[in-house]
Amino acid sequence: MKTLKQDLNNLIGDALASSANMSSCNANVITASKPGFGDYQANGVMAIAKQLNVKPQELAKLVQDHLETREQELVERFEIAGPGFINIFLRDSQLIKRANSMLANPDLLVPKAESPQIIVVDYSSPNLAKEMHVGHLRGTIIGDSLVRIFERLGHKVIRQNHVGDWGTQFGMLIACMRELTTEHDALPNELTDLEEFYKAAKQRFDSDPDFAASARSSVVKLQSKDAEYMAIWEQFIEESMHHCEAIYEKLKVTLNREDLDAESSYNDDLPEIVRLLASKELLTKSDGAMCVFLPEFVGKNNDPLPVIIQKSDGSYLYSTTDLAAIKLRSYELKADRSIYVVDVRQSLHFQQVFAVAKLSGLASSAISLEHISYGTMMGKDGKPFKTRSGETIKLIELLDESVQRAFTLVTDKNPQFSESERQQIAAKIGIAAVKYADLSKNRTSNYIFDWSSMLSFEGNTAPYLLYAYARIKSILRKHQEIADDRYLITLVSEPEERVLLVKNLQLTEIIHAIATDCYPNHLCNYLYELAGSFMRFYETCPMLKAETPLKESRLALSRLTAENLQQGLHLLGIETLEKM
């Protein structure tokens, strides 16, 4: 089943093409900008009239005549307005028919894509040397929402958690670990706070020359795969992964061990990458380092800007690892798209790596490499985010705080619920609020970190959507005898009822758009409008007191809305609640 927008674009596009004597036309159908303008509007007539140098209203009239002779059930009437808009009023019976088919088969809320693809999504990718902080939230949840959306559309998704588990900083940490583990076999207590552990190691590295030497030699030992050092490194990585997994569990992020794509796993492939680039005569030695120079990239003073593939000391950098990963994703995973959900500050890096990959053939000709960037988290002063003492806030602290505040609120609103029930509700609401606060913003803009807006439970927030859902479920419980799926939508009497009906048919339009340009905030916006439409319907269209056919129809519409909210929220990675 096509979306309303697709059907209308086809219908009006054909009529426009016939009227204009062209082979095909873009009718440019969008949802109507105001209720008075119908359900949808076609804006394409004016552009075509311009090309043909005819009066737009006259062309619109031709199109309208054409449409009116055409056999179709979807549209009640077309109206020409303004400089040449065609306003489209849909037929209630057709809206009801579509909604009922969705009620019968909820999968139709979002039909599968026509041609399934293999899509690699690289996201979250924390540095295992440290603990995850609030800055890791965006990439993790935006990536997770995209992954859910691609899968919902029937694509094969390969998650890749490209964790940072290799490099010089691990030498420092292992030197610290070694000192501690020689004394007792068990994992040192100091590791329970990774952040403190890192800071202590860094501090010693900077102040104690003997320790710094030991750290450097640890790096060498690691690179030569010394058994003792590798064992300690693995122990550290394991411990750090537990920290991440605890957060993924709280966030209900769908990443697990199988999705790991650790940097270290490419170590053995890197010499081969260098050889391959050399064989294509792309490498130049510059100040002792092996570099690829591309003419389109220039740096300071208009100097040519290198992509450094191998450092002067022979070791590799993240560009090299990323190239190795592109090779894997191209030729072994055979991906159609490889998506990197990564901070915008790495955009130059990705431009360079993608360019080198394409030029060298490390990327297949079939793969689409896409940096899905997101903005930086800022403090209230508009500067990159830090606490007053200059530190970052741990992600786990934000999540725990949110759940705690939610618990206080639930207890306040519904003291009659049992304590364990209130805790379960608070856990879901607290996490949902934090995720939604972030997902609902356009990913490309920088955003201000602010406890109160992150932890808000009113207005355009996750609790609003969850509340709408819980209200519907409560109604359905109260009207159980007629709320089962035998009953369908049969009539629309009030405007609020019709708005809600049309809204319910549009989830698929949003999801398809997001699959292309990866802006999950559009789904948040849609769901907020859907929930708002329901709230207004709820105020004006009582079900308890309604006569039987209307009552059944309204309950069915409510049931569809609940299904829609649940599916939509699930695609954002937010779980619904039966009551709150």
Partner RNA sequence: GUCCCCGUAGUUCAGCUGGAUAGAACAAUCGCCUCCUAAGCGAUAGGUCGGCCGUUCAAAUCGGCCCGGGGACGCCA
Q: Which helix (H) or strand (E) holds 404?
A: helix 395-413
Q: Which residues contact 179 (CB under 8 A, 6 or more apart)?
A: none
Residue type present at position 242: H
Give me the helices (H) in 114-226, please: 137-152, 168-181, 194-207, 209-223
Among 132, 222, 410, 455, binds RNA (CB under 7 A): 410
**Dihedral angle sign, alpha carbons of residues 28, 88, 487, 463:** positive
User: Cα(454)–Cα(312) distance, rounded to whole angstroms?
Assistant: 45
Q: Does 521 bind RNA (CB under 7 A)?
A: yes
Site string for RNA, 477-506 (x = CB under 7 A): -xx---------------------------
Residues 165-204 that bind RNA (CB under 7 A): 167-169
Is residue 156 classed exposed, middle or buried when 0-12, 13-18 and 19+ CB atoms within 10 A define those classes? middle
Contact window for RNA (CB under 7 A) among 220-228, 238-246, 342-350, 396-404: 342-350
Give the shortest CB-345-to-RNA separation in angstroms: 4
Q: Does 467 bind RNA (CB under 7 A)?
A: yes
Q: For RNA, which stretch binds (CB under 7 A), given 111-119, 252-260, 332-340, 464-472? A: 464-472
**Angstrom distance (rounded) from CA 187 to CA 197:** 13
- Read off the tokens for 344: 């915008």
Structure tokens at 280: 């294509």
Q: Which of 11, 528, 556, 562 binds RNA (CB under 7 A)?
A: 528
Task: Select from 11, 17, 241, 291 the one that contacts RNA (CB under 7 A).
Answer: 291
Residue from 1, 22, 104, 348 binding RNA (CB under 7 A) = 348
Pair type for strands 85-90 and 118-122: unpaired
Q: 104-127: buried (b, 16+ CB within 10 Å) or exposed (e) per residue?
A: eeeeebbbeeeeebbbbbbbbbbb
**Which residue from 178, 318, 333, 512 is in contact with RNA, where contact means CB under 7 A?**
318
Candidate segments 69-77, 80-88, 228-236, 354-362, binder of RNA by CB under 7 A? 80-88
The C-alpha R_g of the chain, in whole angstroms, comes to: 28
Pairing status of strand 377-378 against strand 337-343: unpaired
Nearest distance in Å: CB 54, RNA: 12
User: Is residue 398 within the footprint of RNA (CB under 7 A)?
Assistant: no
Examine residue 300 and tell whether it contacts RNA (CB under 7 A): yes
Binding status of residue 298 toward RNA by CB under 7 A: yes
Contact string 107-136 vs RNA (x = CB under 7 A): --------------------x---------
**Closest to 429 in 3D by CA, of 400, 402, 469:** 402
Question: Which member of 15, 505, 527, 580 binds RNA (CB under 7 A)?
Answer: 580
Where does 252-370 have alpha helices with state H? 270-279, 318-327, 347-360
Q: How many residues does the chain have?
A: 580
Residue 78 found at the interface with RNA (CB under 7 A): no
CB closer to RNA out of 336 and 494: 494
The answer to whether residues 4 and 50 touch, using CB atoms and an 8 Å cutoff, is no
Binders of RNA among residues 27 to 66 (CB under 7 A) are 28, 30, 32-34, 37, 41, 43, 46-47, 50, 56
Span from 17-25, 141-149, 216-224, 445-453 in contact with RNA (CB under 7 A): 445-453
81 forms part of the interface with RNA (CB under 7 A): yes
Please select the residue that binds RNA; options are 192, 279, 445, 493, rule is CB under 7 A: 445
How far apart CA 521 and CA 503 sit, in angstroms, is 17
26 to 13, 18, 220, 517, 558: CA distances (angstroms): 6, 12, 62, 20, 35
User: What six digits make up the tokens of 224?
Assistant: 């030569």
Nearest-approach distance from CB 328 to RNA, in angstroms: 16
Binding mask 210-249 for RNA (x = CB under 7 A): ----------------------------------------
Nearer to RNA, 118 or 580 (CB): 580
SS3 173: helix
Under the binding rule (CB under 7 A), the answer on residue 89 touching RNA is no
Q: Choose between 118 and 172: whose C-beta lies nearer to RNA.
A: 172
- Out of 2, 77, 225, 311, the only residue in the binding site for RNA (CB under 7 A) is 311
